[in-house]
C-alpha cells in the first residue's frame, strides 16, 4: 500500500494529467494481385465459386457473398482466388475489385464502380445521379 501511495504522490508532484487519444489503425489496402503458389485456400474458394456457378440460377438472385472472420484468416486471399477463377471470369463479364477501409464512404465506392464499369466520371454528381448512373452501368453489363 505504501508503494501505491508513493506512486500517487509522485504523480501529483509531476503534474501528470490523463489524456485520451483516439488511435486509428490503418490497414494496408490490397489489390487483386496474388502469387500463384497459394497453399491451403483452394477448397474454401472452390466452395464459393460453386455457389456462384450453380446451374439453378441461384447466382442471378444472389446479391452478396460474405467472407467473414477475424484478421489474418485469409479472407482477401479467398476473395482474390474467387475473383480470378476461370469460371467466374468467363460467366461474369463485369468484375470490379474495390478496396474499402473500415470507415468507407458508400457514395465514393459507388462513384468508383460507375467509373470502372462504364468509364463515366461522376465525381460531381449528387447522390441520386450516382445511384442512377450505377444502375445504368450495371444494366449495361
pLDDT at 121: 92
pLDDT at 89: 93
Q: Tell me how far apart the alpha carbons of residues 136 and 117 are, in angstroms, rounded to a whole number.
A: 10
> Between 106-118 and 127-140, two packed helices, what is the crossing angle to 10 degrees?
40
pLDDT at 16: 60
Q: Tell me how far apart the alpha carbons of residues 135 and 59 are, in angstroms, rounded to a whole number.
A: 18
Per-residue pLDDT of the chain (141 residues; tens, 9 = 90+): 787 777 777 766 776 666 666 555 455 555 555 556 666 666 788 888 888 888 665 556 656 678 888 888 888 888 888 999 999 999 888 888 887 777 889 999 999 999 999 998 999 999 999 999 999 988 887
Amino acid at each position: 500500500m505504501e508503494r501505491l501511495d508513493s506512486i500517487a504522490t509522485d504523480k501529483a508532484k509531476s503534474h501528470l494529467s490523463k489524456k485520451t487519444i483516439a488511435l486509428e489503425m490503418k490497414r494496408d489496402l490490397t489489390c487483386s494481385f496474388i502469387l500463384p503458389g497459394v497453399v491451403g485456400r483452394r477448397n474454401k474458394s472452390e466452395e464459393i465459386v460453386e455457389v456462384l456457378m450453380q446451374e439453378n440460377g441461384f447466382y442471378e438472385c444472389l446479391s452478396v457473398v460474405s467472407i467473414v472472420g477475424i484478421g489474418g484468416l485469409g479472407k482477401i486471399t479467398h476473395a482474390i482466388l474467387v475473383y480470378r477463377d476461370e469460371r467466374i471470369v468467363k460467366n461474369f463479364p463485369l468484375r470490379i475489385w474495390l478496396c474499402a477501409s473500415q470507415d468507407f464512404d458508400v457514395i465514393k465506392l459507388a462513384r468508383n464502380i460507375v467509373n470502372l464499369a462504364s468509364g463515366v466520371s461522376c465525381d460531381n454528381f449528387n447522390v441520386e445521379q450516382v445511384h442512377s448512373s450505377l444502375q445504368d452501368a450495371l444494366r449495361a453489363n
